[in-house]
Amino acid sequence: MTIHATLIPGDGIGPSITEATVRLLDAAGADIVWDRQLAGMAAVTAYNDPIPDQTLESIRKTKLALKGPLETPVGKGFRSINVALRKTFDLYANVRPARSVLPGLRFRDVDIVLVRENTEGLYIGIENYVKIGDDEHAAAQSTAVVTRFGAERIHRYAFEFAVQHGRKKVSLVHKANILKYSQGLFLEVGREIAKEYAGQIEVEEKIVDACAMELVMRPERFDVIVTTNLFGDILSDLTSGLVGGLGLTPGANIGKNAAIFEAVHGTAPDIAGKGIANPTAVMLAACQMLDHIGKPELATRVRDAVENTLRDKSVVTGDVGGSATTEQYTDAVIARL
Ligand code: NAD
Protein backbone atom coordinates (compact mmCIF):
# COMPACT_ATOMS: atom_id res chain seq x y z
CA MET A 1 0.00 0.00 0.00
CA THR A 2 1.34 3.43 -0.92
CA ILE A 3 2.33 5.56 2.06
CA HIS A 4 1.74 9.30 1.88
CA ALA A 5 4.09 11.36 4.01
CA THR A 6 5.22 14.96 4.28
CA LEU A 7 8.92 15.62 3.74
CA ILE A 8 10.43 18.74 5.26
CA PRO A 9 14.04 18.95 4.02
CA GLY A 10 14.93 21.64 6.59
CA ASP A 11 17.91 23.96 6.76
CA GLY A 12 21.71 23.62 6.72
CA ILE A 13 22.62 19.95 6.22
CA GLY A 14 18.88 19.06 6.26
CA PRO A 15 18.26 18.85 2.48
CA SER A 16 21.29 16.59 1.85
CA ILE A 17 20.59 14.14 4.71
CA THR A 18 16.86 13.91 3.99
CA GLU A 19 17.53 13.33 0.26
CA ALA A 20 20.04 10.60 1.20
CA THR A 21 17.29 9.01 3.30
CA VAL A 22 14.72 9.23 0.51
CA ARG A 23 17.24 7.54 -1.82
CA LEU A 24 17.78 4.75 0.73
CA LEU A 25 14.04 4.20 1.21
CA ASP A 26 13.51 4.11 -2.57
CA ALA A 27 16.26 1.53 -2.88
CA ALA A 28 14.61 -0.54 -0.13
CA GLY A 29 11.38 -0.55 -2.12
CA ALA A 30 9.37 1.55 0.34
CA ASP A 31 6.37 2.77 -1.57
CA ILE A 32 6.25 6.31 -0.21
CA VAL A 33 4.81 9.34 -1.98
CA TRP A 34 6.45 12.41 -0.44
CA ASP A 35 4.71 15.74 -0.22
CA ARG A 36 7.71 18.11 -0.02
CA GLN A 37 7.05 21.16 2.14
CA LEU A 38 9.14 23.93 3.62
CA ALA A 39 9.67 25.07 7.20
CA GLY A 40 12.39 26.99 9.01
CA MET A 41 14.68 29.48 7.25
CA ALA A 42 13.96 27.90 3.86
CA ALA A 43 10.28 28.81 4.39
CA VAL A 44 11.15 32.31 5.59
CA THR A 45 13.13 32.85 2.39
CA ALA A 46 10.33 31.48 0.19
CA TYR A 47 7.19 32.71 2.00
CA ASN A 48 8.38 34.96 4.83
CA ASP A 49 6.81 32.48 7.25
CA PRO A 50 8.78 29.80 9.19
CA ILE A 51 5.78 27.44 9.36
CA PRO A 52 3.62 28.11 6.28
CA ASP A 53 -0.03 27.02 6.33
CA GLN A 54 0.51 24.61 3.44
CA THR A 55 3.13 22.73 5.50
CA LEU A 56 0.72 22.37 8.43
CA GLU A 57 -2.07 21.40 6.03
CA SER A 58 0.10 18.71 4.46
CA ILE A 59 0.90 17.17 7.89
CA ARG A 60 -2.78 17.34 8.82
CA LYS A 61 -3.54 15.35 5.68
CA THR A 62 -0.71 12.78 5.73
CA LYS A 63 -0.48 12.59 9.56
CA LEU A 64 3.13 11.64 8.99
CA ALA A 65 6.25 13.73 8.45
CA LEU A 66 9.97 13.16 8.11
CA LYS A 67 11.83 16.32 8.86
CA GLY A 68 15.36 17.67 8.60
CA PRO A 69 16.66 20.05 11.28
CA LEU A 70 15.27 23.58 11.22
CA GLU A 71 16.85 26.90 12.00
CA THR A 72 14.54 29.05 14.10
CA PRO A 73 14.78 32.67 12.94
CA VAL A 74 15.93 34.85 15.81
CA GLY A 75 13.51 37.51 17.04
CA LYS A 76 10.44 36.56 14.94
CA GLY A 77 8.15 35.70 17.82
CA PHE A 78 9.00 31.98 17.91
CA ARG A 79 10.74 30.26 20.74
CA SER A 80 11.32 27.30 18.48
CA ILE A 81 9.63 26.01 15.33
CA ASN A 82 10.02 22.48 16.64
CA VAL A 83 8.18 23.36 19.85
CA ALA A 84 5.48 25.08 17.77
CA LEU A 85 5.03 21.92 15.63
CA ARG A 86 4.79 19.74 18.74
CA LYS A 87 2.15 22.06 20.17
CA THR A 88 0.13 22.34 16.94
CA PHE A 89 -0.16 18.58 16.55
CA ASP A 90 -0.11 17.74 20.28
CA LEU A 91 2.88 15.44 19.78
CA TYR A 92 3.03 14.32 23.38
CA ALA A 93 5.57 11.50 23.23
CA ASN A 94 9.17 12.08 22.24
CA VAL A 95 10.78 8.70 21.67
CA ARG A 96 14.57 8.57 21.43
CA PRO A 97 16.28 5.21 21.08
CA ALA A 98 20.03 4.90 21.75
CA ARG A 99 21.72 1.65 20.78
CA SER A 100 25.40 0.65 20.71
CA VAL A 101 26.36 0.02 17.11
CA LEU A 102 29.64 1.83 16.43
CA PRO A 103 32.66 -0.22 17.44
CA GLY A 104 35.37 1.16 19.71
CA LEU A 105 33.18 3.11 22.12
CA ARG A 106 33.34 2.86 25.90
CA PHE A 107 30.05 0.93 26.06
CA ARG A 108 29.07 -1.96 23.83
CA ASP A 109 25.66 -3.05 25.06
CA VAL A 110 23.52 0.05 25.39
CA ASP A 111 19.97 -0.40 24.15
CA ILE A 112 17.81 2.27 25.73
CA VAL A 113 14.57 3.86 24.55
CA LEU A 114 13.89 7.13 26.30
CA VAL A 115 10.25 8.25 26.28
CA ARG A 116 10.03 11.93 27.13
CA GLU A 117 6.82 13.82 27.86
CA ASN A 118 6.84 16.47 25.15
CA THR A 119 4.07 18.97 25.97
CA GLU A 120 4.08 19.74 29.72
CA GLY A 121 6.49 20.18 32.61
CA LEU A 122 8.76 23.21 32.68
CA TYR A 123 8.55 23.68 28.91
CA ILE A 124 5.00 25.02 28.74
CA GLY A 125 6.37 28.56 28.66
CA ILE A 126 4.83 30.08 31.79
CA GLU A 127 7.67 32.32 32.94
CA ASN A 128 7.98 35.82 34.29
CA TYR A 129 10.25 38.25 36.04
CA VAL A 130 9.35 39.70 39.41
CA LYS A 131 10.12 43.35 40.05
CA ILE A 132 11.47 44.25 43.47
CA GLY A 133 12.13 47.93 44.10
CA ASP A 134 13.69 49.37 40.92
CA ASP A 135 14.97 46.05 39.67
CA GLU A 136 12.65 44.71 36.94
CA HIS A 137 14.61 41.44 36.92
CA ALA A 138 15.04 41.02 40.65
CA ALA A 139 13.67 37.48 40.43
CA ALA A 140 12.39 35.09 37.77
CA GLN A 141 9.98 32.22 37.98
CA SER A 142 9.05 29.34 35.71
CA THR A 143 6.03 27.13 36.28
CA ALA A 144 6.09 23.37 35.76
CA VAL A 145 2.71 21.86 34.96
CA VAL A 146 2.00 18.14 35.15
CA THR A 147 -1.56 17.02 34.52
CA ARG A 148 -3.07 13.63 35.30
CA PHE A 149 -4.17 13.46 31.65
CA GLY A 150 -0.67 14.22 30.36
CA ALA A 151 1.06 11.89 32.81
CA GLU A 152 -1.37 9.05 32.08
CA ARG A 153 -0.91 9.16 28.34
CA ILE A 154 2.91 9.30 28.45
CA HIS A 155 3.20 6.46 30.95
CA ARG A 156 0.72 4.40 28.97
CA TYR A 157 2.67 5.12 25.78
CA ALA A 158 5.91 3.93 27.45
CA PHE A 159 4.37 0.70 28.77
CA GLU A 160 2.57 -0.05 25.50
CA PHE A 161 5.82 0.61 23.62
CA ALA A 162 7.59 -1.83 25.96
CA VAL A 163 4.98 -4.53 25.32
CA GLN A 164 4.91 -4.03 21.56
CA HIS A 165 8.69 -4.03 21.21
CA GLY A 166 9.39 -6.99 23.48
CA ARG A 167 11.03 -4.84 26.15
CA LYS A 168 11.34 -6.11 29.73
CA LYS A 169 11.52 -3.09 32.01
CA VAL A 170 10.31 0.49 32.34
CA SER A 171 12.17 2.94 34.61
CA LEU A 172 10.00 5.77 35.98
CA VAL A 173 12.42 8.69 36.34
CA HIS A 174 11.37 11.58 38.58
CA LYS A 175 12.34 14.04 41.30
CA ALA A 176 9.30 13.51 43.53
CA ASN A 177 11.42 13.63 46.68
CA ILE A 178 11.83 17.41 46.19
CA LEU A 179 9.13 18.53 43.73
CA LYS A 180 6.39 16.80 45.66
CA TYR A 181 3.45 18.13 43.66
CA SER A 182 4.39 18.17 39.96
CA GLN A 183 6.87 15.29 40.07
CA GLY A 184 4.82 13.61 42.78
CA LEU A 185 1.78 13.49 40.51
CA PHE A 186 3.88 12.19 37.62
CA LEU A 187 5.15 9.35 39.82
CA GLU A 188 1.74 8.63 41.37
CA VAL A 189 0.18 8.24 37.92
CA GLY A 190 3.15 6.15 36.74
CA ARG A 191 2.61 3.73 39.61
CA GLU A 192 -1.07 3.39 38.74
CA ILE A 193 -0.36 2.66 35.08
CA ALA A 194 2.47 0.26 35.99
CA LYS A 195 -0.03 -1.89 37.98
CA GLU A 196 -1.91 -2.59 34.74
CA TYR A 197 1.25 -4.19 33.33
CA ALA A 198 2.24 -6.15 36.45
CA GLY A 199 3.65 -9.55 35.55
CA GLN A 200 4.24 -8.40 32.01
CA ILE A 201 6.68 -5.49 32.35
CA GLU A 202 9.08 -4.98 35.24
CA VAL A 203 8.99 -1.48 36.70
CA GLU A 204 11.53 0.49 38.72
CA GLU A 205 11.52 4.00 40.14
CA LYS A 206 14.63 6.15 39.83
CA ILE A 207 15.33 9.64 41.09
CA VAL A 208 16.74 11.60 38.15
CA ASP A 209 20.14 12.42 39.67
CA ALA A 210 20.79 8.81 40.64
CA CYS A 211 19.56 7.78 37.21
CA ALA A 212 22.10 10.09 35.51
CA MET A 213 24.92 8.57 37.53
CA GLU A 214 23.81 5.03 36.82
CA LEU A 215 23.37 5.75 33.12
CA VAL A 216 27.06 6.58 32.78
CA MET A 217 28.22 3.72 35.00
CA ARG A 218 25.94 0.84 34.01
CA PRO A 219 23.87 1.90 31.01
CA GLU A 220 23.26 -1.73 30.04
CA ARG A 221 20.83 -2.13 32.93
CA PHE A 222 18.35 0.33 31.41
CA ASP A 223 15.66 -0.64 28.94
CA VAL A 224 12.76 1.84 28.53
CA ILE A 225 12.87 5.12 30.49
CA VAL A 226 9.85 7.38 30.92
CA THR A 227 10.24 10.87 32.32
CA THR A 228 9.08 14.49 32.24
CA ASN A 229 10.01 17.06 29.59
CA LEU A 230 13.15 18.73 31.01
CA PHE A 231 14.66 15.54 32.45
CA GLY A 232 13.94 13.75 29.17
CA ASP A 233 15.61 16.49 27.17
CA ILE A 234 18.79 16.24 29.23
CA LEU A 235 18.92 12.47 29.69
CA SER A 236 18.30 11.79 26.00
CA ASP A 237 21.40 13.78 25.03
CA LEU A 238 23.25 11.79 27.66
CA THR A 239 22.07 8.49 26.16
CA SER A 240 23.05 9.77 22.67
CA GLY A 241 26.54 10.39 24.03
CA LEU A 242 26.76 6.80 25.26
CA VAL A 243 26.37 5.47 21.72
CA GLY A 244 28.49 7.88 19.68
CA GLY A 245 26.81 11.28 19.64
CA LEU A 246 23.93 13.24 18.21
CA GLY A 247 24.76 12.40 14.57
CA LEU A 248 23.46 8.89 15.16
CA THR A 249 20.36 9.51 17.24
CA PRO A 250 16.84 9.69 15.82
CA GLY A 251 13.74 10.99 17.55
CA ALA A 252 10.03 10.46 17.01
CA ASN A 253 7.38 12.96 18.09
CA ILE A 254 4.15 11.06 18.43
CA GLY A 255 0.62 12.37 18.87
CA LYS A 256 -2.85 10.90 18.49
CA ASN A 257 -3.40 12.45 15.08
CA ALA A 258 0.08 12.96 13.68
CA ALA A 259 3.70 11.93 14.09
CA ILE A 260 6.89 13.73 13.08
CA PHE A 261 10.22 11.91 12.79
CA GLU A 262 13.55 13.71 12.85
CA ALA A 263 17.22 13.65 13.77
CA VAL A 264 18.02 14.86 17.26
CA HIS A 265 20.86 17.09 15.99
CA GLY A 266 20.59 20.56 14.48
CA THR A 267 21.39 22.13 11.10
CA ALA A 268 25.19 21.83 11.56
CA PRO A 269 25.93 25.20 9.88
CA ASP A 270 29.69 24.57 10.16
CA ILE A 271 29.54 21.69 7.63
CA ALA A 272 26.45 22.65 5.58
CA GLY A 273 27.01 22.50 1.82
CA LYS A 274 30.20 20.44 2.12
CA GLY A 275 28.57 17.08 1.38
CA ILE A 276 30.07 15.44 4.48
CA ALA A 277 27.12 15.34 6.90
CA ASN A 278 26.19 12.03 8.49
CA PRO A 279 22.64 11.09 7.40
CA THR A 280 22.36 8.20 9.92
CA ALA A 281 20.05 9.94 12.40
CA VAL A 282 17.47 10.81 9.72
CA MET A 283 17.77 7.31 8.24
CA LEU A 284 17.05 5.79 11.67
CA ALA A 285 14.21 8.29 12.16
CA ALA A 286 12.73 6.97 8.91
CA CYS A 287 12.96 3.45 10.41
CA GLN A 288 11.02 4.66 13.45
CA MET A 289 8.44 6.03 11.00
CA LEU A 290 8.17 2.65 9.23
CA ASP A 291 7.75 0.89 12.60
CA HIS A 292 5.10 3.41 13.59
CA ILE A 293 3.00 2.79 10.49
CA GLY A 294 3.18 -0.98 10.86
CA LYS A 295 6.04 -1.83 8.49
CA PRO A 296 8.47 -3.45 10.94
CA GLU A 297 10.08 -5.81 8.40
CA LEU A 298 10.99 -2.94 6.11
CA ALA A 299 12.19 -0.90 9.10
CA THR A 300 14.41 -3.76 10.25
CA ARG A 301 15.86 -4.26 6.78
CA VAL A 302 16.80 -0.58 6.45
CA ARG A 303 18.04 -0.35 10.06
CA ASP A 304 20.21 -3.47 9.64
CA ALA A 305 21.79 -1.97 6.51
CA VAL A 306 22.58 1.28 8.34
CA GLU A 307 23.88 -0.46 11.46
CA ASN A 308 26.02 -2.97 9.55
CA THR A 309 27.61 -0.13 7.59
CA LEU A 310 28.44 1.65 10.85
CA ARG A 311 29.71 -1.56 12.46
CA ASP A 312 32.02 -2.24 9.54
CA LYS A 313 33.23 1.37 9.75
CA SER A 314 35.12 1.29 6.45
CA VAL A 315 32.77 3.75 4.71
CA VAL A 316 31.54 6.21 7.34
CA THR A 317 31.49 10.00 7.62
CA GLY A 318 34.03 12.19 9.40
CA ASP A 319 32.04 12.76 12.60
CA VAL A 320 32.32 9.04 13.43
CA GLY A 321 35.94 8.64 12.38
CA GLY A 322 35.73 8.02 8.64
CA SER A 323 36.31 10.08 5.51
CA ALA A 324 33.28 9.22 3.34
CA THR A 325 30.95 11.83 1.90
CA THR A 326 27.21 11.73 2.59
CA GLU A 327 26.73 10.22 -0.86
CA GLN A 328 29.43 7.55 -0.51
CA TYR A 329 28.07 6.50 2.89
CA THR A 330 24.52 6.33 1.49
CA ASP A 331 25.76 4.17 -1.41
CA ALA A 332 27.45 1.85 1.11
CA VAL A 333 24.23 1.53 3.13
CA ILE A 334 22.21 0.83 -0.02
CA ALA A 335 24.71 -1.86 -1.04
CA ARG A 336 24.00 -3.64 2.26
CA LEU A 337 20.21 -3.67 1.93
P1 NAD B 1 24.10 21.01 15.74
O2 NAD B 1 23.53 19.71 16.17
O3 NAD B 1 23.61 21.57 14.46
O4 NAD B 1 25.70 20.89 15.63
C5 NAD B 1 26.54 20.52 16.72
C6 NAD B 1 27.83 19.88 16.16
O7 NAD B 1 27.54 18.57 15.69
C8 NAD B 1 28.43 20.64 14.97
O9 NAD B 1 29.83 20.59 15.04
C10 NAD B 1 27.93 19.86 13.78
O11 NAD B 1 28.79 19.92 12.65
C12 NAD B 1 27.88 18.43 14.32
N13 NAD B 1 26.81 17.65 13.67
C14 NAD B 1 25.48 17.71 13.92
N15 NAD B 1 24.82 16.89 13.13
C16 NAD B 1 25.72 16.28 12.36
C17 NAD B 1 25.65 15.30 11.31
N18 NAD B 1 24.47 14.78 10.92
N19 NAD B 1 26.79 14.92 10.70
C20 NAD B 1 27.98 15.41 11.10
N21 NAD B 1 28.12 16.33 12.08
C22 NAD B 1 27.00 16.77 12.70
O23 NAD B 1 23.84 22.04 16.94
P24 NAD B 1 23.96 23.65 16.98
O25 NAD B 1 25.18 24.07 16.23
O26 NAD B 1 23.81 23.98 18.41
O27 NAD B 1 22.67 24.18 16.24
C28 NAD B 1 22.66 24.67 14.90
C29 NAD B 1 21.24 25.08 14.51
O30 NAD B 1 20.37 23.96 14.54
C31 NAD B 1 20.59 26.15 15.41
O32 NAD B 1 19.92 27.08 14.57
C33 NAD B 1 19.58 25.37 16.23
O34 NAD B 1 18.48 26.15 16.60
C35 NAD B 1 19.17 24.30 15.24
N36 NAD B 1 18.65 23.05 15.86
C37 NAD B 1 17.59 22.46 15.28
C38 NAD B 1 17.12 21.25 15.77
C39 NAD B 1 15.94 20.60 15.09
O40 NAD B 1 15.42 21.11 14.13
N41 NAD B 1 15.48 19.43 15.56
C42 NAD B 1 17.74 20.63 16.87
C43 NAD B 1 18.85 21.27 17.44
C44 NAD B 1 19.31 22.47 16.93
Q: Which residues contact 219 (CB under 8 A, 6 or more apart)?
A: 107, 110, 112, 239, 242
Give the fold, CATH level 3, of 106-242: Isopropylmalate Dehydrogenase (3.40.718)
Average the pLDDT over 202-231 and give the result.
98
Atom of ligand 1 nearest to the CA of 318: 20
Please give the distance, rounded to the nearest whole angstrom, from the Cα atom of residue 275 to the centre of ligand 1.
15
pLDDT, tens digit, 9 for 90 and up, residues 140-178: 999 999 999 999 999 999 999 999 999 999 999 999 999
**pTM of the entire predicted model:** 0.94
CA dist 131 → 126, 134, 139, 142, 233 (Å): 16, 7, 7, 15, 30
Atom of ligand 1 nearest to the CA of 279: 18
Answer yes or no: same fold for 1-99+244-337 and 106-242: yes
Per-residue pLDDT at 330 exceeds 80: yes
pLDDT, tens digit, 9 for 90 and up, residues 176-198: 999 999 999 999 999 999 999 99
Atom of ligand 1 nearest to the CA of 268: 3
- Return d(Cα 142, Cα 28) in angstroms, integer: 47
Ligand 1 shell residues, CB under 6 Å = 13, 17, 69-72, 82, 246-247, 262, 265-271, 277-278, 281, 319
- Our answer to whether residue 209 is catalytic in this structure is yes
> For residue 110, which phi and psi values (nearest 5 degrees)?
-85, 130
- Return d(Cα 315, Cα 284) in angstroms, integer: 17
Per-residue pLDDT at 270 exceeds 80: yes
Mean pLDDT computed over every residue of the chain: 95
The pLDDT value recorded for residue 77 is: 64
- Return d(Cα 183, Cα 174) in angstroms, integer: 6
The pLDDT value recorded for residue 80 is: 79
Give the fold, CATH level 3, of 1-99+244-337: Isopropylmalate Dehydrogenase (3.40.718)
- Return d(Cα 105, Cα 122) in angstroms, integer: 33
The pLDDT value recorded for residue 219 is: 97
Q: For the chain, what are the domain ranges?
A: 1-99+244-337, 106-242
How far is the first Cα of the chain from the last one, in angstroms, to the nearest whole number? Answer: 21
pLDDT, tens digit, 9 for 90 and up, residues 285-306: 999 999 999 999 999 999 999 9
